[in-house]
Structure 1
Amino acid sequence: MPRHLDKQERRETRDAARAVAAWISQARRVQERQAATHEDVRRRLAELASAAVPVARASEVAWRVLLLSKDDAESLLRALVARADLPQPAPQEATALTQLTDRAPAAVDAARTLSPVRWMFASRRRREQIVPHASYLRELFAWGLQAGITEVLDRLAKPTGELDPAQLSADDLLDPRLGLAAATGATAPPSLLDATRFGELPRAMADLRAAAEEERSARDAVVRAVAAYRSPAVHAALARMPLETLKEATTGSLRLTPLLTAGITSVQEVLDRRRELHLLPGIGSGFRDNLVAAAETLAQITADEQPVRLAGTLDPVSEAAVLALAAWDGVRRTRGAGSDLAVADDLRPLAAVLDDRVHRLLVLPVRNVPATGVADAIVTVVRRADVVTATSARGVPSDARADFASRPADYYAMLGELGYLTEDEEASHGELPAGLVESVREQALRTEALTVALRGYQSFGARFALVQRKVILGDEMGLGKTIEALAVLAHLWATGATHFLVVCPPGVLVNWLREIAARSTLDAHRIHGPEWQDAAAAWVSGGGIAVTTYDTTWMESGAWARGPTIACVVVDEAQYVKNPEAQRSRRTAALVAGVERAILLTGTPMQNHVGEFRTLISYLQPGLVAGKEELAPRLFRRAVAPAYLRRNQEDVLAELPGLVEVEEWLPLGPEDVATYREAVAAGNLMRMRRAAMMHGLDSPKVDRLVEIVEEAEDNGRRVIVYSFFNDVLAEVHKVLSGPVFGPLDGSVAAGARQRLVDEFSAAEGGAALLAQVTTGGVGLNIQSASVVVLCEPQLNPALEAQAVARAHRMGQLQSVQVHRLLSEDAVDERIHELLAHKRQLFEEYAGTSATADAAPEATDAEIARQVLAAERERLLYEPPAAPAPDDA
């Protein structure tokens, strides 16, 4: 039988309902306050997000940046503090809140029937329905009294007071207690930037934009010049391209019959007759537009595929391109800033909205990239803008052709910057594993301390060295291992490192000093020779790059270890330390082990010398070679790939076969000096020119020549050695151990000359053909040789140009390497200086055989007089100290 409430139960239920109703009111206020506080945070973030600026990285949005005014930051902080200051109910308390705001209100409402008047008129059914509500209310009331629910609700209604807004500022927005990171929904932790970290961005962008505008017209002139250079080849290619090819350049349907009927058979004819196509039967204006668009697409693709090769004798169109490049390089101040300018482009939308009202930036990652990347990018752009502002333009050279001849790699790097040189990206990776390649690509490279641009593969090589810390760069000669190493040092300098060390053979020490001065803003210190102690002291105190040789007293004493921290060591011609038992090898191993970063440079291919490379790798990363003694060369190279990167010229230089020219400045040896001074005293110019090549391996020039031939043998190349002097060629013949042919001089009959060249061409790599420059430079095709060595500068540069042209000509399938061996601080330097302004004239002489025959004789009396006078004055009034041996 249904139960009814007695009078006592009704009274108790009414009392419970009154208390629970008060609790419900308190609970609702608690929930409403919490909801309003959370909604305030959500609303403020939504408003800020609606004006967020997307910032890209690698052409894909990586961050959303919220702009906060001072009021925005303060109000958001207040909202976050209020939310963080909300009391957090315990699980049982949270359940009670839910009960009070969910089920309890219905029970309280039902309990209104229990008033005496309403109960009197309530139906039987209604009285039965109230029973469970009344039981629930009495039980809830009893639990509430026991749990002290009134005190709980009072506590939940008040702020905790744990956070003092007066002690917090906008800098504390990312305080973990405020929970902003979770509220934004970012995929990675956000970051907060104040004005000191982004305030300079608009100014920096304006400076870069102004510099770019100054360069724009010159750059546009390069674009036009290259287009003119490519135009004949593009026109010829399109003239050979059948109409069917048009269908490959469009997704639409093309009917070619009307064109064929009109006698149009090639893509070039479509372009030539574009204005009249719509007049042909069956071709309306819409069809005409589709045809022309497809033809223009093919024309652009064809132009992009045309190589730009400027080496050799310049025709008028090539010369125009060189002149335009020289003019652009002369006025620009953003040289070498390609990657930084790309970063600036990514930041352009952000810079456009920054003003004095922006107080903070809240950076929210969109992809899984660190939020700090935006701050890093801003630093990069501001730093580059400061460098650009402080940089003076190089100035347009008075003789662009001579400038191009002296630094062709820089001109090709400019073409690469503009996208005119297509590089095989995979080839630039060598044999590195895919995961490492990705890490190298992600590595930043700061180049503001460089004064030249990097090719893509050079940038990759520098990044590889930065990522792996201790590596061998084994690129083939002519690819720029030196500039890659310099790029690493420049990056480290820009990131706070101060001291670097280059160790090299004596024969390349001068080259290093010249390269550092010409291609970077870093200071170089020559720790070699009679003033090495002063140079070492200057390096210790001022930082920069110390350049020394393997066997100096400074190296032998280990003085480098007692000085400042060396951020990176570069070991050039690392094959010099291939013997682990040699003292210089042990010193080098200790040096490399004692620094955080090291780069070993060698052009010797590993597959020919696995044992030597095992030794070199052991200096860097011993774990890579442990237990791999029996591996075949190919497998060994794969095993050591994390520490070894090699690229060949043909793999990464799309413009090849081309000409790579290197000036190698070498000191005179002790015996060379004695012979040289005697020749100067006697006024004998020809003897002065030969002095550096007459003492066998004791002469640095001869020693370097032997190294070049040995490297050519390793790379499967043949070598031509040119000199004006037969006795120099005879001395060279004595020291070369491989197949030697010649000398090819005036005493060799015409028929015998070609037989000599044929025998040389059939020989193995490393074979050397000795030739007198006045004989070997005329009438012979020696394209089987791809390395040319000039033992001394010629008084008539036309002789050099013709001699090099014997190898660098039609039919040459390899790039040609030209080594000019030059004596430092001697007659070679005087000749080089005196003839610099005449280079263009001599190039014109070399252009045709007729003008070459009219060129000045090599014994030009005026040049001889000036050279002799300069050297006699230098030695008479400023007698040089005898050069110190290599252990100075």
Structure 2
Amino acid sequence: MVEEVSGWRKLATRIAEDREPVEAAAEVAAKQFLGRVASLGTGATTTWRVLQVSPSDVDLVTSLARRHALPALTANAQQGIRQLTNDVAQALTAVRALFGARRIFSGKSRKGEAEQAAAYLISLHERPASTQLVTELESLAARDRKTVPAIGVSALLDDTVGFAHRLGGRAELVGRHELDAAKTAISAIDRALQRENEFRTAVNAAGQAVRQAEARKLVAEMPVERLKDATSGQLRITALIDAGIRNVQQVLDQRSRIRSLPGVGETTGNRMVGAARTIWQTTLDEMPVRIDIKNRSHTATKLLKAMRAWDAARSIRGATADLAAADAVRPLLQSLDPKTSHVVLVPQARTVVELRTALAAVERRGAVLDDGDGAAGGDPWEDFIARPADYYAMLAELGFLADDAEKSQGDLPTEIVEAIRELRLDTSHLKASLRGYQSFGARFAIVQRKVIIGDEMGLGKTVESLAVLTHLRAKGSSHFLVVCPAAVVTNWVREVRAKSDLHAYRLHGPSRDDALKSWIRNGGVAVTTYDTLGWLEGGIPERTGLACLVLDEAHYIKNPDAQRTRRSRVLIGRSERAVLLTGTPLENRIEEFRNLVGYLRPDLSINASEIAPRQFRKQVAPAYLRRNQEDVLTELPERFEVDEWMPMSSADEKHYRAAVVEGNFMAMRQAALRAGAKSEKMRRLIDIVQEAEDNERKVLVFSYFRDVLDEVAAILPGKVFGPLTGSVPAAKRQSMVDEFSQARHGAVLIAQIVAGGVGLNIQSASVVVICEPQLKPTTEWQAIGRSHRMGQLESVQVHRLLSEEGVDQRIIDILARKNQLFAEFARVSETADSAPEAFDITDAELAREIVAAERERLLTGG
């Protein structure tokens, strides 16, 4: 029996020694390939997971094929080989004490061990006969051990390699030759688009030249007395008049002479020239591009030529389907390594069929593009006269048409501004003082009936709304409804009771039925949530007229297909007035902003094109008012923002690499804070908190991820409140903030940014830490706005923790574009600009009024 088992062991050992190096090499190859898989896409959307391979990967593919060629081991064979190679050797040695000369000289203890070994071997010897193990081992040992020949990388996904299942999904292999043709075509498209940008730049330059010429003419007609007006009478201009300087342009032309005029001197001369420059710049900024066919100046002719060339070149953009196809494949083509011969694609948001369709479309477009400049011959003035509407549309698109040059639909009419100014706001039911801009905002909402108040966070949109409600109450209205996120219901009820004498009813929580009945019977301000609107539907009798509806954080209803949006629109339709409050009317797409305006004013025809921001702002002006902190809160402490870039620790890199292998974008975003005290970000966060305690400050820590917050709560020293997350009941959130506000210096409140960044006022903290960049800039603004707002007495420090490696840089790039989009379309309010009293009046606004008056006088003959 011992000899037979020994023979079986040799078979098993030989089989294991044959297989182990093959399997080890294959596993190394698989890990190398999987570690190179990258996610490609736009924003947070992964289009494909991609693995690039090159001819140098032949050995890796061959290793995988060799393992796949090994005979499959049954469970019986695996168990038998494991026992024979691991457990049997010791038993074979011990059992020899039972036979031969050893049995005479072996002691009792050794014989006992030998007997146990014999029992084990007898049991083992009986098993192969019943399980055919020996037959399997002999078959495995007798297999052909010839080496599998080298296999090319094009076979990576073949069944003979056995790797495809490790990638998941429906992986497909695409040859480099399929991609190179499209790459060439995209280069042609890009050259054409670049050419268009050159023409657009030329139009901008030519348009500025026309504006400068027009501005010079206008300033030359402004009497020098305007310097005195622009400086509120601080300048004496007698010396200028005595010197024969009669207009503002002459002040600029003779600036070197002015400083030496009798009675002027260096300081006064500089002030005169500075005032003239201010008027000149303001005039230029507001000057429309005027094309006068009776005065065909050289600058106007040059502008028309540039516009005609641009119009011809930009026709390429009309091929939207082809451009969309190019954008779809661009990330893949840009990522190609020169050595790559094949690409393995694992479909995520798009299929490989869609990829090949896009490649074909790009190739077709590339084949028809040429490098022509698109400039037609002939007189540009004749082309302008033939189609002036097209030229003026281009000028409007570039922002060259000023308000008084061409009134587009939706621009705030003068009579509306006058009506706002004439309205006397009744504050008899209001128990709070209003700043000037808040009074203007309330009157704007009353006059225009259904509006968006988009003031930047921290400017008091709540009290503006209460001013509207109390005014209406004074005029006889009774029922008002506020809809808001659950997190701020308590705050709204508090504000209504503290700052007005209106009754507040909480239509949220266990007592909502009784509260609804009381509100219907008595009137006042009912406060409910977006999620409760389904319950509220049908609960308000038709006879209970809604005098005013307030929708707080109105960006919650930007999606027109959402249930809460549909219910909110029904309420907007039922209400005599509606005020949508949001500091972030535009988060990702212009269409979101247009939706909000459309709910209120479907009569406004609004263009949501990304290339005409000024026109868009004018169109939404009758329904949109926004002021920014720097415009109205001159006393607000400074805000210092620091982007803290730091390397990943080895532990961070391990987490990040695992997330990349999984293709888990969210895990990649939080990887740099999952290693606890070994994380570089965590170490920096601890330093910030300790510095804050030393400087007698409190800290707000925001992250999108609950797991990150749990790590932070476990690691940070000192008093930590939270985490404040979406699962924390609304009342508990407010009490958590209250406790934090009463805590000593060095306290930390940690919060999920989508929960703690909305609705709560946390001025007691003056240090804000954002653990990872967010996908929407408005998310960060809201979070920072919780601290940097009216009532904040200390400068606010904002620390963004960013990893040098990984996804943070890409997200920052995304934020930059979204910031630009918001700045162009939503940051400026034409309504506010139409009425200087909407802001605190400064010399800059005074100069603007003067220029407007001069333009009215000189250009229209008024």
- Determine if the TM-score, normalized by the shorter chain, exceeds 0.5: no
Interval containing the TM-score (normalised by the shorter chain): 0.3 to 0.5
Structure of larger gyration radius: 1
Which of the pair has the greater relative contact order for Cα pairs under 8 Å at 6+ separation?
2
